[in-house]
Amino acid sequence: MKPEHIGLIGHGEVGKIFGAGLRACAGVRGVCAWDLKFARPDTAGAERAHAERLGVVPQPSMQALCAASELVVSAVTASNTLAVAQEAAAFVRPGTVFLDLNSASPGTKQQAAACIEAAGGRYVEAGVMTSVPPYGIRVPMLLGGPHAGELADVLNAWGLDTRVASERLGVASAIKMCRSVMIKGLEALVIESYTAARACGVEDQVLPTLQETFPGIDWSAQGAYFFSRVVQHGQRRAEEMRESAHTVRECGFEPFMAAAIAQKQQWVADQAKAGVFKDVPKGAAWQAYADALIAARQA
C-alpha cells in the first residue's frame, strides 16, 4: 500500500486541516477535495479558492475525486457517514483505500464498509480521539478493520499518530462513541449548570466547590473552552451524539443520557444560528456566553 494521491470528501474544518497537513507529507504527490460547497453558487468561489491556497485541488464531483485518488478520506458530518460511503462506492476504483474519519456508530461504520468493500475498495474505520485543531493531522486516531494495520504503517510514516484498535470493524468506533458520551456530556452539563448558576447569581459559590472536588481541572477555563466549542460546532456535536445514542441502542440499552446530550448540543447550535452569540468575542470567558443565553431568554 503506497498511496500517492489523496482525495478528501468534505472540506470543512477537519477536511481543511487534513488537506493542508497531508499535502506536506513526504511521498504524497497530490491532494484533492470534493465538497457540496464547491458546487453551490453562494459558496463555490470562496471554498475553491481556499482549497487552492492550501495546494488542494478542488474536484467537480465525487466521481472525479474517486478517479484521482488511491486513498479517499471521508471527513463529513456524522449524519452523512453512510450516504457518502454509498455514493463513493459507485465510483471508487478497485483497491482504493477508504479511510472513514466520521464519528458514527459501529453499525453505521459496518454498513459503510459493506458498500465500499462490495465495490472493490478497502475500508478502514477511524476513531478520532480528541479535538483536531490543536493537533492537526497528528491527532490521535484509532484504526479498525482488516486493512487497518497496513494503512497505519503508511500514515505513521507520514508523521500521523495512529494505532490499530482491532482488525474487527466497529471496535474503534465503539471506543470513540462511548468516550463521546462522557466528553460531550461534560460539555452539556457545564453549559446547563454554569448558565443556571449565572442566572441565579451563585456561580461564585458553585465553581469553587467543583474546584475542590476535582482540583485537577481549571473549571473556569474549561468552561470557556466548552462553551466556545459547542457554540462553534454544536450541530456537528449533536449529530455525533445521535450516533452515540445509536451505539447504545446497538448494545441493547436505552440511550437516556446520549439522547439528552444530543438535544442540549442541538439547542446550543440553534441558539448560535439565531445569532444569540454574535456579540461574544473570540476568547471570551464563559460568563459572556451564559449572559448571552440569559439575555435571549429575557428578550
Same domain, 21 and 148: yes
Among 169, 194, 219, give the residue marking a domain's end. 169
Name the DSSP class of 25.
Answer: S
Output the domain CATH number for residue 253.
1.10.1040.10
pLDDT value at residue 31: 96
Whose cell is 477508504? That residue is 98
Whether residues 61 and 150 share a domain: the answer is yes
Does the pLDDT value for residue 83 go beyond 80? yes
* Same domain for 184 and 165: no
> In sequence order, what E strands does 66-224 have?
71-74, 97-100, 122-128, 141-144, 162-166
- Judge if 158 and 182 occupy the same domain: no
Same domain, 58 and 120: yes
Do 110 and 131 share a domain, yes or no? yes
In terms of domains, do 154 and 253 share one? no
* Alpha carbon 74 to its chain's center: 11
Cell numbers that stand for 151 in this block: 494503512
Note down the domain range covering 92.
5-169
Mean of the per-residue pLDDT values for the chain? 96
Phi and psi (nearest 5°) for 124? -130, 125
Examine the fold and report which residue of 118, 138, 169 is the final residue of a domain before the chain moves on.
Answer: 169
Do residues 21 and 121 share a domain? yes
- The whole-number average pLDDT for the span 174-185 is 96
Confidence of residue 27 (pLDDT cuts 50, 70, 90): confident
Closest CA to 76 of 41, 138, 46, 34: 34
Taking the C-alpha atoms of residue 58 and residue 64, their distance in angstroms, rounded to an integer, is 10
Catalogue the E-assigned strands of the chain: 5-9, 30-34, 57-58, 71-74, 97-100, 122-128, 141-144, 162-166
Q: What does the alpha-carbon distance between residue 88 and residue 7 come to, in Å, rounded to a whole number?
A: 11
Among 169, 191, 219, the domain boundary falls at 169
Neighbouring C-beta atoms of residue 114, cutoff 10 Å: 16
Q: Are residues 186 and 130 in the same domain?
A: no
Beta-sheet pairing, 122-128 with 141-144: antiparallel
Asked if 76 and 102 touch (Cβ cutoff 8 Å), the reply is yes
- Counting runs of H as helices and runs of E as strands, what totals does the chain give? 11, 8
From the number of C-beta atoms within 10 Å of its C-beta (0-12, 13-18, 19+), residue 258 rates as buried
CB 174 within 8 A of CB 106: yes
Nine cell digits for residue 144: 479498525
In this predicted structure, the answer to whether residue 134 has a pLDDT above a threshold of 90 is no
Domain shared by 133 and 208, yes or no: no
CATH value at residue 99: 3.40.50.720
- Indicate yes or no: pTM above 0.85: yes
User: Do 231 and 264 touch, CB atoms closer than 8 A?
Assistant: no
**Per-residue pLDDT tens over the stretch 67-76:** 999 999 999 9
- Residue 201 burial (CB < 10 Å; 0-12/13-18/19+)? exposed
Looking at the structure of the chain, the number of domains it has is: 2
User: What pLDDT sits at residue 2?
Assistant: 85
Sheet strands (E) in 80-208: 97-100, 122-128, 141-144, 162-166
- Please indicate, yes or no, whether residues 154 and 43 belong to a single structural domain of this protein: yes
Q: Say if residue 1's pLDDT is above 80.
A: no
**19: amino acid identity, one letter:** G
pLDDT of residue 167: 95
Judge if 146 and 17 occupy the same domain.
yes
